[in-house]
Amino acid sequence: MDWIEVRVTVSAEASEAVAHLLIEEGAGGVVEEAPATLAAYFPDQGDVEARLDRIRRSVAGLSRFGLDPGPARVEWRRVAEESWADAWKEHFHPLKVGRRIVVRPTWREYRPAEGEVVIDLDPGMAFGTGSHPTTALCLRALEDRVTPGCVVYDVGTGSGILAIAAVKLGASRVEACDVDPVAVRVAQANAAQNGVGARVRITRGDWTSLPPGEADLVVANIIADVVIELAAGVHRLGRPGALFIASGVIAHRVDDVVGAFREAGLSAIEIEREGEWAAIIARLRGAAT
């Protein structure tokens, strides 16, 4: 059976949302080939035109959710059965993020230097490899803020990369969730691959599915509107004084998110940026700032 490779070019702010749209459409792998250009792979079942039409309409419809789809260009080609897997895997190489974290695709060789924290990752059909600025911002924030024995919550875990990183940086356990059942399976497999499956619990659902009041740190790499919703309820998840790290925020939405943080009573707000993206870090009520 042949496969269909679909390339979607959108605005930077829409790239993560488009990745999730492609996964929901049934993609057998999604990669970011260049900034805001995503490649996805589908089995060729004779429904190319119908599938492309759904993708085009879904991408164009992102404007209803406050996201600018940008060029919204959708292109495709057929890829032979024997080469489709390698077609997307060739884009991934070991990547160092921050001072110590290295993300190693499971099919690549890498000899770690002393002190490096290596995450073996097969993103499969889930989003999150460390190469996107939003994920890199979260990894660097975790590297600076995870303390030995802390409890971390990962909202919208995707490939599980942030949950795995948190444990390898010293967290005693991680509670993670994702609304996508494929992401849950991929994240569970990646946690097991890294030997941290016993300390990472991954459930299907949104942030309200997580146990209340136990987190020392909550991390969420999701879109701005969901971050704003979570800001209003994050006190339910964390202990007094817990940290909240939120990424996936495009530059022009930073003020909206910061305003929501302040309205929710979060304090000590910091903003870390990479290109058009930002991570916003704050502290929950109940501790000195």
Which domains are present in the chain?
Answer: 3-89 (3.30.70.120), 124-283 (3.40.50.150)
**Residue 72 pLDDT exceeds 80:** yes
Q: How confident is the model at residue 35 (pLDDT cuts 50, 70, 90)?
A: low
> What is the mean pLDDT of the segment spanning 14-33?
77
Q: Which range among 32-36, 112-116, 137-141 shows the weakest confidence by mean pLDDT?
A: 32-36
Do 178 and 138 meet the contact criterion of CB atoms below 8 Å apart? no
Least confident of 34-38, 76-80, 193-197, 249-253: 34-38
| Cβ-Cβ contacts under 8 Å for 255 (sequence gap 6 or more) | none
Comparison of pLDDT for 50 and 17, the residue scoring more: 50
Q: What pLDDT does 168 receive?
A: 98
- For the entire predicted model, the pTM comes to 0.78
Quick check: 32 pLDDT over 80? no
